[in-house]
Amino acid sequence: MTKGGRNLVILGIAAAIVALASTSVSLAMYHYSGDIYLDRSRPGYLPDEEEKEEEEETEEGLYEFEKTGPVTKEVLTEYLEKMQVEVDGLKGYEKPFDTNALSDEALGIGK
């Protein structure tokens, strides 16, 4: 092996060691700071008891389309009626599907 090839291998190994070390340090900081418990995108995240109660209260009015079973005319009619309520709620907004619908001003969080 030439000197340049050996240096390239050493550089590759050194880069892998630096990447492994920096990743390990950042994950340790993430865990020890407690931020790992705030990450709701993690599978298996368990909310606090207070959050569970709040979620149960808000979910009562939500409609869920049946995931199993036959799709009958009655099921589709019920689904369309529930979705029409949601659409009617959007009609109260000016241009609800406009590109500016998520702007700070539209969301009420402007400066």
pLDDT (tens digit per residue) in 6-62: 999 999 999 999 999 999 999 999 888 877 777 666 555 655 555 555 444 445 556
With 0-12 / 13-18 / 19 or more C-beta atoms within 10 angstroms meaning exposed / middle / buried, residue 2 is exposed
- Contact status, residue 5 vs residue 11, Cβ threshold 8 Å: no
Residues 52 and 70 grouped into a single domain: no
Q: What is the number of domains present in the chain? A: 2
Residues 47 and 86 grouped into a single domain: no
Give, in degrees to the nearest 5, the angle at Cα 29 between 23 and 33: 155
Residues 52 and 2 grouped into a single domain: yes
Q: Among all chains, which residue has been given the structure tokens 């009609």?
A: 91
Residue 89's pLDDT is: 76
Specify the higher pLDDT residue, 40 or 84: 84
Residues 36 and 11 grouped into a single domain: yes
Q: Does the predicted TM-score (pTM) go above 0.85?
A: no
Residues 50 and 20 grouped into a single domain: yes
Quote the domain boundaries for residue 18: 1-59
Residues 25 and 72 grouped into a single domain: no
Which of 59, 75, 94 terminates a domain? The answer is 59
Residues 2 and 55 grouped into a single domain: yes
